[in-house]
Amino acid sequence: MALDVSELKKMAAEEAVELYVKDGMTVGLGTGSTARYAIDAIGRLVSEDGYHLKCVATSEQSAEQARRLGLEVLELADVKGIDVTIDGADEVDPSMNLIKGLGGALLREKIVAAATLTEVIIVDDSKLVDVLGSKVSLPVEVVRFGHEHTAYALKRQGCTPVLRMKDGAPFVTDTGNYIYDCAFGPIERPYFLETAIDSIPGVVENGLFLNRVEEVLVAGSEGSVYRFSERRHRSRPDSCTSSRTPFGPDVHNVSSFYRTSV
């Protein structure tokens, strides 16, 4: 019997915490529905197992949850670095590149990821795609001043930018900015697009997380958690030239390919 999505998210989160969080670490707390389960599990390490952990949150929402659980939450400026961050993603491609930001915390998530030694992503298998942008729009965080002109510049890059709304008003990030959700469709050249977007005046950050991830743990609908970094490195042919599927031209179904037991 297939598990529901919330059960899969919880499985991946708890597996990541068990594998990667050790006593004495400084831990980055992700944001979103999957990361919430990881924060719960980290809280139990402190309250039940006596772990001593320092935490840095990627959003005010995650910081509030952590404090309720008795976790010590510090500002990023108050730590020398972060040992591990456990966070979710909205899409994951075969190279472990991501789209993030549907939870509205992409700027802080990317800053924390850059300060992290080991970035671990937890997802259910519905988030796996062959090409980024296949299922979700790309979030782009922009300053409020002149945001309409920034949106026009984004549109000229080939997308349909939609200002994110909440309760009838523009959604405002923790850092006081707006977000445009940009429907590009499949993004064949993500590094090129990242550079093009970041060059637009008014853009603060975009939701492409490229070459930033150490591991992705995937919860499959059949009830197992898989990690694929070792399988990915072992299976990638030397002659591979495909930009769509770095495992080789014959690999088309990423959902089945990723299944290697933890």
Q: What is the mean pLDDT of the chain?
A: 89
What is the pLDDT averaged over residues 157-176?
97
Tokens of 146: 């002149």
Q: What's the pLDDT score for residue 155?
A: 98
Sign of CA dihedral 113, 138, 259, 32: positive
Q: What's the pLDDT score for residue 240?
A: 35
Q: What's the pLDDT score for residue 97?
A: 96
What is d(CA 5, CA 41) in angstroms, rounded to the nearest whole number?
Answer: 18
- Contact by Cβ (8 Å): 174, 101: no
Q: What is the DSSP string of 206-250?
A: ESEE-S--SEEEEE-TTS-EEE-HHHHHHH--TT---SS-TT-TT
Among residues 120, 180, 172, which one has the least CA distance to residue 155?
180
**pLDDT exceeds cutoff 80 at 251:** no
What is d(CA 104, CA 123) in angstroms, rounded to the nearest whole number?
Answer: 17
Q: Which residues contact 197 (CB under 8 A, 6 or more apart)?
A: 140, 154, 157, 203, 206, 208
Q: Which helix (H) or strand (E) holds 27?
A: strand 26-29
Among 40-44, 194-198, 208-212, 224-228, where is mean pLDDT lowest?
224-228
Q: What's the pLDDT score for residue 79?
A: 97
- What is the tens place of the pLDDT at every residue in 193-206? 999 999 999 999 99
Catalytic residue among 14, 109, 141, 205: 109
Q: What's the pLDDT score for residue 233?
A: 52
Q: What pTM was computed for the model? A: 0.86
Task: Characterize the bridge pairing of strands 26-29 and 165-166.
Answer: unpaired
Q: Which helix (H) or strand (E) holds 148?
A: helix 147-155
User: Does the annotation count 109 as an active-site position?
Assistant: yes
Q: What's the pLDDT score for residue 252?
A: 34
What is the pLDDT averaged over residues 248-261?
35
Among 13-17, 50-54, 59-63, 246-250, where is mean pLDDT lowest?
246-250
**pLDDT exceeds cutoff 70 at 245:** no
Of residues 238 and 162, the one with the higher pLDDT is 162
Among 45-49, 129-133, 196-200, 225-229, where is mean pLDDT lowest?
225-229
Asked, colleague to colleague, whether 1-130+206-262 and 138-205 share their fold, the answer is no
How many residues comprise the chain?
A: 262
CATH class of 1-130+206-262: alpha beta
Q: Which residues contact 89 (CB under 8 A, 6 or more apart)?
A: 98, 99, 100, 121, 123, 127, 209, 216
What is the pLDDT averaged over residues 54-65?
98
What is d(CA 211, CA 228) in angstroms, rounded to the nearest whole number?
Answer: 15
Domain 138-205 classified CATH 3.30.470.30? no
Q: What is the DSSP string of 124-144?
A: EGGGB-SSTTSSSPEEEEE-S
**pLDDT exceeds cutoff 90 at 253:** no
Q: What's the pLDDT score for residue 250?
A: 33
What is d(CA 254, CA 94) in angstroms, rounded to the nearest whole number?
Answer: 7
Domain boundaries along the sequence of the chain:
1-130+206-262, 138-205
- What is the tens place of the pLDDT at every residue in 63-117? 999 999 999 999 999 999 999 999 999 999 999 999 999 999 999 999 999 999 9
Return the amino acid letter for 97: N
**pLDDT exceeds cutoff 70 at 49:** yes
Tokens of 196: 């093009």
